[in-house]
Amino acid sequence: MWHGKKVAVIFPTFREKKSIKSVIREFDRSGYVDELIVVDNNAEEGTVEEVKKTRAKIVYEKRQGYGHAIRKGLSSTYADLLIVAEPDGTFDGNDIIKLLSYSDDFDLVLGSRTHVSLIHKGSDMTSVKQILAIWLAKMATWLFFCPLLTDLGCTLRLTHRTAWRRIEKEVRGGDWIFSIKWILVAVMRKVHYIQIPVNFRARVGTSSFVGTFIKKAIWGMNEFFYIWYLWFRFQYEKYYRTH
């Protein structure tokens, strides 16, 4: 509970059997979380058994993809404040206090992994990736003329339920572009947001998504073109409304 508002943390899981139990317990230790929800997105064998050693609730989403899993988690709770996190050990459970603190003034609180002093040794945030992430975020900031963005790819975030309801019909899709679309649609629809620095640690295990250089390069290109796609769509909407 945070200032009279119920808090839920949502963890989508696919290949995090080795880390999920400890991550759930780390987030739970904050003392502010009312509900912990794990979305089993065709998770590897043994994951459910690890989750059952905690107080987290398990829900299932058979459609493979990060976006499908997150939407399932968000629809599986009636909490007022909804936090999305990864169960792979990359995020620090103590950082939810930062998110909650800013939730008093903002409808959407986004994490950023690009602040050097909070990037831990061995994390996936290499210098090249950091520069690219900042550049893409600044490009989006300039295009949409919005409050500063420094990292479109950070999945640690908090939303008020009411803010999510405003944009949920537009934020669809099953793959990882979902997390970026969420941010940019929020920008387009004038959701009151802020982005804050969070810790970013080494992942436990290897990511199935950005575990290779080729996958990272493809992801960066997809992000670049998707930002422009949404910007052109936004311009068309504004033109259509005024003519």
pLDDT for position 212: 65
**Buried/exposed code over 48-61 (b: 16+ C-beta within 10 A; e: otherwise):** bebbeebebebbeb
Pairing of strands 108-112, 157-160: antiparallel
- Of 166, 17, 1, which is closest to residue 9 (Cα–Cα)? 1
SS3 labels along 177-214: HHHHHHHHHHHHCCCCEEEEECCECCCCCCCCCCCCHH
- Average pLDDT of the chain is 94
CB atoms within 10 A of CB 203: 18
pLDDT in tens, 41-80: 999 999 999 999 999 999 999 999 999 999 999 999 999 9
pLDDT for position 239: 75
pLDDT for position 210: 53
What residue ranges define each of the domains in the chain, with the CATH number in brackets? 7-242 (3.90.550.10)
| Better-predicted residue by pLDDT, 174 or 24 | 24
Residue 240 has pLDDT above 90, yes or no: no
pLDDT in tens, 170-215: 998 888 889 999 999 999 999 999 999 999 999 997 665 555 667 7
pLDDT for position 242: 73
How far apart are the C-alpha atoms of 32 and 116, rounded to whole Å? 28
How far apart are the C-alpha atoms of 243 and 77, rounded to whole Å? 41
| Better-predicted residue by pLDDT, 120 or 177 | 120
Residue 243 has pLDDT above 70, yes or no: no
Pairing of strands 57-60, 35-40: parallel
Q: What is the mean pLDDT of residues 11-21?
A: 97
228 close to 140: Cβ distance less than 8 angstroms: no
How far apart are the C-alpha atoms of 88 and 15, rounded to whole Å? 8
Residue 34 pLDDT grade (very low, low, confident, very high; cuts 50, 70, 90): very high
197 close to 115: Cβ distance less than 8 angstroms: yes
**Distance from the Cα of residue 149 to its chain's centroid:** 14
Q: What is the pTM of this model?
A: 0.94
pLDDT for position 75: 97
pLDDT for position 208: 57
pLDDT for position 120: 97
Residue 161 has pLDDT above 90, yes or no: yes
Q: How far is CA 199 from CA 55, 92, 111, 207, in A?
A: 25, 6, 9, 18
